[in-house]
Chain A
Amino acid sequence: MSQSCVEQSPYCGADFLSSETLNRADEAVAEVFHMMFGFVTEPVDAPCPTPPTPGSDDRTAVVGFSGSMRGSCQIRISSPAARAVASAMLGGVPIDEDDDSINDAIGELCNMLAGGWKNAIPALSSACALSPPTVISGHDYKVHVRMPSVNLSRTYRFDIHCLQLTLHCEQVEPPGE
């Protein structure tokens, strides 16, 4: 029998699109920001504003999911916000703009958010593994996902900053016959 339709990875259907996905993301964001940085977070409707200084950098961290869900968790924040996160992680120590530890902090933040989210979903908790984080920095870039995917995105405000979290769930083409 030929399979012409796109086959979804096991979690990418109604489960992924249910309200539970973003509710668990809200909880993961609130928990990580409160416990690790002492920030209160609030989901907001509008996307993060463009960086206040023209040409200033954004940072994006990506952690991949494999197993019962194939896809990724991405966070995107401005460089000043990333610096605030790194500084808070170290207990308020000032951090230079070009300090490598900022990327490290953003990678770890994404790792904790991805882990916190998937651990809160019983179908994924032990059936889905995380990849090490990758961090991209620069301006005027787009992150493209090669496979067709279902995406859910939410913006959070913390302190004077903003973070955008996107969950991608891949749709996988079955092998040809």
Chain B
Amino acid sequence: MKGTVLVVDDSAMMRKVVLRILKMADVDFESVLEANDGLEALTLLRANSVALIMCDINMPVMSGLQLLQQIKEEKLAPGVPIVMVTTESSEPQVRQAILAGARGYIRKPFTIEHIKNTVRPLLAA
């Protein structure tokens, strides 16, 4: 798949897991950017264009929800699908993320099927 995927998670292990499962789901990108928190992700987004953002919610420095707000405010990554990947799956949190601009929501733990069913339709749209 053309383009770059940005994976935002404070766990380097979970970033590797997300990238591995994306690949297994045939959602393989030309290049990868990784950020440890929302602030690092913002810096990367100001300098790079990406085709997909996979983002955790609970992170130090800047959370995933704060990152979504900032992306909206700065009009970064217009039209790029943002998928939240998180252990937090209560309805208010999902609603908050969708209102803030997320297009998909995957709860940890997840399988290849979850990634396929959530991410592939967003990239095909």
Show the binding face of A for B, using Cβ within 8 Å: 31-32, 35-36, 86, 89-91, 101, 104-105, 107-108, 111-112, 114-116, 119, 125-126, 129-130, 132
With a cutoff of 8 Å between Cβ atoms, the chain B residues found around residue A130 in the complex are 58, 87-88
When each residue 76-117 of chain B gets 1 if its CB lies under 8 Å from chain A and 0 otherwise, what string results?
000000000011111111000000000000011111000000
When the two chains form their complex, are residues B87 and A101 in contact, meaning their CB atoms are under 8 A apart?
Answer: no
When the two chains form their complex, are residues A132 and B60 in contact, meaning their CB atoms are under 8 A apart?
Answer: yes
Give the size of the chain B interface in residues (CB under 8 angstroms): 24
For the complex, what is the distance from the CA of A111 to the CA of B11, rounded to whole Å? Answer: 11
Known contacts A130-B58, A132-B58; A89 and B89 CB within 8 A of each other: no
With a cutoff of 8 Å between Cβ atoms, the chain B residues found around residue A126 in the complex are 90-93
For the complex, what is the distance from the CA of A125 to the CA of B59, rounded to whole Å? Answer: 19
Q: Sample 8 A-B pairs with CB under 8 A, ordered by A number.
A: A32-B109, A36-B109, A89-B16, A108-B108, A111-B108, A115-B86, A119-B88, A130-B87
Q: Is the interface of B mostly helix, strand, loop or mixed?
A: loop
B14 contacts chain A at the CB level, 8 A cutoff: yes
Which residue, of B10, B87, B88, B92, has the highest number of chain A Cβ atoms within 10 A? B87
B20 contacts chain A at the CB level, 8 A cutoff: yes
Taking a contact as CB atoms closer than 8 A, the residue among A35, A104, A119 that contacts B90 in the complex is A119
Min CB distance, B22 to chain A, in Å? 13
Min CB distance, A124 to chain B, in Å? 9
Min CB distance, A90 to chain B, in Å? 6
When the two chains form their complex, are residues A119 and B14 in contact, meaning their CB atoms are under 8 A apart?
Answer: no
When the two chains form their complex, are residues A119 and B17 in contact, meaning their CB atoms are under 8 A apart?
Answer: no
Taking a contact as CB atoms closer than 8 A, the residue among B10, B12, B20, B109 that contacts A31 in the complex is B109
Q: For window 1-21 of chain B, which residues contact chain A by CB distance below 8 Å?
A: 10-14, 16-17, 20
When the two chains form their complex, are residues B13 and A105 in contact, meaning their CB atoms are under 8 A apart?
Answer: yes
When the two chains form their complex, are residues A35 and B13 in contact, meaning their CB atoms are under 8 A apart?
Answer: no
For the complex, what is the distance from the CA of A112 to the CA of B93, rounded to whole Å? Answer: 16
